[in-house]
Amino acid sequence: MPDNGHAMRADPLRFLVIGLLAFPLVVLAIPAATFGLPLPCPAQGSWLVQRQLTLPRRSHAGEAIGGFSAAHYDRTSDNLLLLSDLPSGMVLRWGGLGRYPAPELQRLTPLRSGPHQVLPAAMDGEGLVVLGNQWWVASEGRRSRDRPPQLLRFDASSGKLLSAIELPADWQPGDGQGLASNAGPESLLLLSDRNHSQQPVLLMAAEQALLQDPAHEVRLLRWQWPAGADPARDAPRPQPQGALLLPRQEGWGLTDLLQTETGQLLGLLRRFKPPDRWQIRLALYPLPPPGTTDSVPSLVEWDLIAAGLAPDNWEGLTKGPPLTDGRTTLLLVSDDNLNPLQANRLALLTEEHSVSCSDKR
């Protein structure tokens, strides 16, 4: 939920700095590689909002639904999982996203305590990863014992809590340190197996800077299983993985991440200015190496409101269903905060693509 030009330090051997371009492109440097996710080409292009729709506020049984904070789309089944950050916690499965006119709610799974693990009375699920028959959830903290920041593992069939893992000490609330209240962890990503490792890797991100860190630096935390460990039973081990630099203006936060096939990170950025102004950007970042604490600037940023996205509290980002012409899409989801002035929205985006880029794609 929301907490209602940065410096560039790019490696000149890796990135071509292209300076300040016209909005909606915000700044900056572009890699020469091609991407698996749809990205505008050339980089000073924009995004095309292909479709926006509003989801219902109540289930078939009349139960209030909303607060969608993370998404996972499965192309094979055409199913969309939406994580709700309401205090009770739930995951909702929607079907038929690739068909018009609108997806249909198929199942609502409450998240609850398991036989050996007790879920806090109130949680704030913000990041979702599907790993086999388990859901991994990043739960945002409130700097209190009853609302700790955690990495949670649930059984996907029952919604029962299997394990609750504490974050490292420097992420925990303390005197002048740790996550700020309602400022993370905000995102959870399954990293691709670029080194052909036998073990999965999760990447967690804060929403805003930890209290002990410079402003605008958002930490990343790598969760990896050691060799021989069973990801279905054992807990992963945390390790620093650098930080991402947010825009310099006050109030920006990172709400979700995706990874490109070349290993970069595509981040969803959000800023709210009272009483009712939303700013939403997509930003492309290099992936910092494991074990480092260095921060990296964005390579390029795009203004999605200027591209036609409805101003709202957009929080979730996932790869979406293909269009009828085969083009890949991005799917965004918004969190209505159960506020009647907001809505549960889905948006399907494709990239603006120049003919001159065809041979490079």
- How many CA within 13 A on the CB side of residue 257? 34
- pLDDT at position 306: 95
In a domain, 14, yes or no: no
Q: List the domain range (segments joined by +) for residue 238.
A: 26-360
In a domain, 350, yes or no: yes
- pLDDT at position 14: 33
* Distance between start and end Cα atoms, the chain: 36
In a domain, 1, yes or no: no
Rounded to 10 degrees, the C-alpha dihedral 351/356/358/361 comes to: -70
In a domain, 12, yes or no: no
Signed CA dihedral, 263, 321, 159, 256: sign only: positive
- pLDDT at position 328: 86
In a domain, 338, yes or no: yes
Reported as a single tens digit per residue, the pLDDT across 141-156 is: 888 888 899 999 999 9
Please provide the DSSP assignment of 136-158 as one string. EEEE---SBTTB--EEEEEETTT
CB atoms closer than 10 angstroms to residue 62: 6
Q: How many domains does the chain have?
A: 1
User: Cβ(200)–Cβ(186) under 8 Å?
Assistant: no
Minimal CA–CA distance to 3: which of 346, 342, 313, 317? 313
Q: Is the pLDDT of residue 108 over 60?
A: yes
Q: What burial class does residue 302 get, using C-beta atoms within 10 Å of its C-beta: 0-12 exposed, 13-18 middle, 19+ buried?
A: buried
Reported as a single tens digit per residue, the pLDDT across 242-271 is: 999 999 999 999 999 999 888 899 999 999
Kindly indicate the confidence band of residue 26, based on its pLDDT and cuts at 50, 70 and 90. Answer: very low
In a domain, 80, yes or no: yes
CB atoms closer than 10 angstroms to residue 211: 15
In a domain, 8, yes or no: no
- pLDDT at position 185: 96
Q: Is the pLDDT of residue 301 over 60?
A: yes
Reported as a single tens digit per residue, the pLDDT across 162-212 is: 999 999 999 999 999 999 998 999 999 999 865 556 799 999 999 999 999
Q: How does strand 161-166 pair with strand 150-155?
A: antiparallel
Residues 294 and 139: their CA atoms lie apart, in Å, by 25
In a domain, 231, yes or no: yes
Reported as a single tens digit per residue, the pLDDT across 29-77 is: 333 333 357 788 888 788 999 999 999 999 999 999 999 999 999 999 9
The CATH code of the domain that includes 325 is 2.115.10
